Structures are given as C-alpha cells and as structure tokens.
Structure 1
Amino acid sequence: MRVVSLISTKGGVGKTTTAANLGGFVADAGLRVLLLDLDVQPTLSSYFALTRQACAGAYELLARNERDLERLVSRTSIPGLDLIVSNDDMGQLGTLLLHAPDGRLRLRNLLPIFQAHYDLLLIDTQGARSVLLEMAVLAADLALSPVTPEILAARELRRGTLQLLDDIAPYRHLGIQPPPLRLLINRVHPVSADARQIQQALRQVFGHSGGVQVLHTAVPAIDAYPRAATQQWPVHRVEYRKPSGRAAPAALETLRALAGELFPAWVERFAQVSGRGGRQHGQ
C-alpha cells in the first residue's frame, strides 16, 4: 500500500481538490483507494456523495485506536474509493496527540490495519503547522504539496513545509525517514508566465533542498475543477476532452500525467482510464 500525505503549512493551495481528484482517478483505474480526512474543516469528507456512512471516523481511529474497518470506513459513490471522514468538530485530536507518548507516530502504527484492503491511502491535512500534520508526514511514503505559481508563495512554502520536514528529521534515529516531497504547481492561469518558466523558477528556489522535486505536471486553472466539485465527481469524468480553442489540456490528460508521475508502477492501468466512469471501453 502506498501512503501519500497532501501537505502544506499554507491553506487554500488545493490539497483537498488534489486528493479528491487523484483518488477518484486512481480508483477508476481499478485500484483500491482510501481517503483519510484529517482537516478540521472536513471539505474532503463531503466532496463525494456517500453510498454508506460509517458510524465512526478519524477521531475514533486516532483517539481510540479503533481498528474495525466496518465502523471506520464510509463508501463513496465512486467504486473502489472509500473514505474515513473528519469528525473532530471540537478540534480535540491535536491536543490529545500532542500529549500522547506515541502521538506523532500513532497513524504510522495503525497503517497495518489498511494494508490488505487498499493499494493507496491519500491523507488530506489542515493548512497549518500542527501535530496532526507532523503525524501525517511521518506516516507517508511520499508527501505531495500543491503550490500556486507565485514565487512569494514558493518562498513561504520553503519557510513552512520544508522547515517541518527538517524538524522531524531526528526521527531518523528511530529508523523513520522523512518522505520525499513532490511539489505540484497548481492553478496555472493561461495569462500568467509559462508553466515551464515557473517550474524553472521553483527549481532555483528548491534546487538545494534534498528530497524535494518539482513535478513536470502542472494543473491549469480551468473551470472543470469547481464544476466537478459541484457535481461531486472526479474532474476527469467531467472533462475528458479538451475544449476547442483552449491551450490547457483536458482534465483527464492532466490527471493521467500526474498519477503517472507519482505512481509509475501503475502507468498501464492509468492509460486505460476514460472519462466515462472507469476504464476504456473493451478493457
């Protein structure tokens, strides 16, 4: 099971949208995906319609070490895409984990209960430095951070997210390596600088930071993403063909490229995904 945490110490960069659409795309490729919503503002928890609402959620998982998947896991309307909802309405988890001896390692220690059931776990986090964010990073194989295409935003990410990775480096003494960080340039406007120039600028900012890589895939600022959220669908199902006259690729093409960069072992599966609710006809 691959574990990817969507992280940023800055809010509003697109973590939830990325988690929802990446999860929906990978599920449509026939893989088993679990979304874990750790944001106290539970946007991911309401992104997709649910066909089954579990009686428990992230609070029971982390505060009570709940291990019964029937109690924890809700089913979304996307086959193969499950969800553990955020239900820490009072924001108590942060305080509880901060004072627990295993607080920052609790999620990592609970991962075995999901191993046999899922191919991919995507963790959405709050856009602020917290013990929950540190816990999500320490549980991950890979950290993915959307960043908007402004150098000032990139510098802020360097002060926040990269500092977080530096601060958890002592866990190496316990045999826990901080995950590599992938930066996803998000919401690239057609009227802004070319995405390749932005990538080059970001590489200059992060070029001397070990374990950090700017992804080649950039997500354009197109209206398909808010339309998909309104319809409670993954964006590749909403826009699977590029509209005539637009330079930006279709959302399906962007998600396929992004998923292929992050999970190259599954590229052949991703090639079979269409925008009509699953794989290409005849597959």
Structure 2
Amino acid sequence: MLVISVISTKGGVGKTTVAANLGGLIADAGLRVLLIDLDMQPTLSSYYQLVHRAPSGIYELLAFNERNLTALASRTVIERLDVILSNDGHRQLNTLLLHAPDGRLRLRNLLPVFGPHYDLVLIDTQGARSVMLEMSVLASDLCVSPVTPEILSARELRRGTLQLMEDIAPYSQFGVSPPPLHLLINRMPAVSTNARLIQQTLRQLFQEQPGIQILRSEVPANEAIHRAAVLGLPVHRVEARRPSGRVAPAALEVMQELASELFPQWQELFNRVTSKSGRGGIHG
C-alpha cells in the first residue's frame, strides 16, 4: 500500500480537485483507493456521492485510534473508491495532536491496518501549516504539492511548504525520513507569458535540489474540472476527448499522464482507462 499526501500551506491551489480526480482515475483503473480528508473544510468529503456513509470518520480515527474499517470507510459511487470523512466539526484534533506524545506520528502508526484492503491511500490536507499537516507528511511515501503559476503561490511555496519539509527533517534521526516532494504545476493557462515565465523559473530553481522534483506533467486550466465537480464525477469521465480547436489535451489524457508519472508500475492499467471505465470497464 502506498500513501500519498497532497499538500500546500497555501489554500486555493487545487489540492482537493487533484486528490479527487487522481483517486477517481486510479479506482477506474481497477485499483483499490482510500481517500482521507484531513481538511477542516471538508470539500473532499462531499466531492463524490456516497452509497454508504460510515458512522465514524477522521475524528474517531485520530482521537480514539479507531481501526475498524467498517466504522471508518464510507463507500462512494465510484467503484473501489472509499473515503474517510472529515468530521472534526469543533476543530479539536489539532489541539489534541499537538499535546499528544505521538501526535505527529499517530497517522503513520494507524495506517498499516488499511494495508490489506487498499493499494493506495490519498490524503487531502488543509492549506495551512499545522500539526495535522506535519502528521500527514510524516505518514506518507510521497507528497505532491500543486503550485499555480502565480507569483504569490510561488512565494508561499518557498516560505511555507518547503520550510515545512525542512522543519520535519530531524525526524529522520528517529527512523522516519521525510518523503520526497513532487511539485505539480496546476491550472496552467493556455496562453500567459507571466505564467510560462514562473513555470520556467520554478523548474530551473528546483532542477537539482535534493528531495524535490517538479513533475513533467502539468494540469492545464480546464473548465471540465469545474463541470466534473458539479456532477460529482472524476474529470476523465467528463472529458475523454480534446474539444475541437483547443490546444490543451483532454482531461483523460492529463490524468493518465499524471498518474503514470507518479506510479509508473501501474501505467499499463492507467492507459486502459476510458470515460466508460466506471461503468463496467476494467477490473484489476
């Protein structure tokens, strides 16, 4: 089982849409995916319609060490895609974990119970520095950080997300090495000189920085992403072909490329996904 966190200390960069659409495509490829919503604004929890709502959620997992999968995992309408809902309505978890001896390592210690049931865990995090965010990073095999090609987003990346990775580096002395960080250029406009300049600067800046990689894959600004969210569907089911006259590739191609770069061991499965995969297409 692989554990991936989608992180950024800046809100509004597209963490939830990346997590939801990546999880949807990977589930349609035949793999078992668990989404975990660690955001106090639980957008991921409501992205997909549920066919079964579990009685518990992230609060019971972290506050009471709940390990019963039946109690925790809600089933979405997307086959093989489950979600642990964000249900910390009173926002108590940050304080609880801050004062717990194992606070930053609690999720890491709890996740192995899901290993027999899922191939991939995707964690959506809040867009602010917190003990919850640090806990998520330390529980992960890899972190993906969406970065929009804007100067404020680039500055916050250096000030917030990269500083976070530096601050948790000492955990390697206890055998918990911080995971690699992959930066994802998100919402790339089709035509924008400033955006292209920022993209090129980011690629040059982190070209040889240890532990940090800018993904070759980019997610273009695409109205289909908003349409998919309204419909509660993965974007690859909504746009499988590139519209006539548009330069940017179809959403299906974009998500296949991103998933294949992150998980090359499953590339063959991803390449077989179509817009109809969720309706009887592929089984792993």
Q: Give the TM-score, by structure 2 length.
A: 0.96
Structure 1 runs of 4+ with >3 Å offset: 193-199, 277-283
Q: What SS does the corresponding residue of 1:160 show, helix, strand or coil?
A: helix
1:150 deviates by 2.0
Partner Cα distance (1:120, 1:171) in 2 = 24
Partner Cα distance (1:247, 1:276) in 2 = 24
Partner Cα distance (1:249, 1:204) in 2 = 24
| 1:241 partnered with 2:241 | yes
1:193 deviates by 3.3
What amino acid is the match of 1:26?
Answer: I
Assess, with a 3 A threshold, how the Cα gap between structure 1 residues 155 and 248 changes in structure 2: closer, same or farther.
same
State the partner residue of 1:87.
Answer: 87
1:151 deviates by 3.7
Assess, with a 3 A threshold, how the Cα gap between structure 1 residues 116 and 189 changes in structure 2: closer, same or farther.
same
Q: What SS does the corresponding residue of 1:273 show, helix, strand or coil?
A: coil
What amino acid is the match of 2:70?
Answer: E
1:66 deviates by 0.2
What amino acid is the match of 2:188?
Answer: V
**Cα displacement string for residues 215-257 of structure 1 (whole angstroms, at most 9, x for unaligned residues):** 1111111110000000000000000010000001000000000
Q: What SS does the corresponding residue of 1:257 show, helix, strand or coil?
A: helix
1:196 deviates by 6.7
| Alignment length (residue pairs) | 283
What amino acid is the match of 1:70?
Answer: T
1:37-56 correspondence runs (5 A): 37-56=37-56
Partner Cα distance (1:61, 1:282) in 2 = 32
Partner Cα distance (1:140, 1:117) in 2 = 17
Q: Compute the RMSD of aligned alpha carbons.
A: 1.7
1:244-283 correspondence runs (5 A): 244-278=244-278
What amino acid is the match of 2:9?
Answer: T
Q: Is the 8 A contact 1:273 1:280 kept in 2?
A: no
Q: Is the 8 A contact 1:151 1:201 kept in 2?
A: no
State the partner residue of 1:149.
Answer: 149
1:58-207 correspondence runs (5 A): 58-193=58-193, 198-207=198-207
Partner Cα distance (1:155, 1:70) in 2 = 42
Gapped runs of 5+ residues in structure 2? Answer: none
**Cα displacement string for residues 14-60 of structure 1 (whole angstroms, at most 9, x for unaligned residues):** 00000000000000000000000000000000000000000000000
Assess, with a 3 A threshold, how the Cα gap between structure 1 residues 159 and 282 changes in structure 2: closer, same or farther.
closer
Partner Cα distance (1:164, 1:205) in 2 = 18
Assess, with a 3 A threshold, how the Cα gap between structure 1 residues 194 and 274 changes in structure 2: closer, same or farther.
farther
1:258 deviates by 0.2
Assess, with a 3 A threshold, how the Cα gap between structure 1 residues 281 and 111 changes in structure 2: closer, same or farther.
closer
Q: Is the 8 A contact 2:35 2:124 kept in 1?
A: yes
| Sequence identity percentage | 67
Q: What SS does the corresponding residue of 1:219 show, helix, strand or coil?
A: strand
Gapped runs of 5+ residues in structure 1? Answer: none
Partner Cα distance (1:145, 1:6) in 2 = 6
Moved more, 83-92 or 185-194: 185-194
Q: Give the TM-score, by structure 1 length.
A: 0.96
Q: What SS does the corresponding residue of 1:217 show, helix, strand or coil?
A: strand
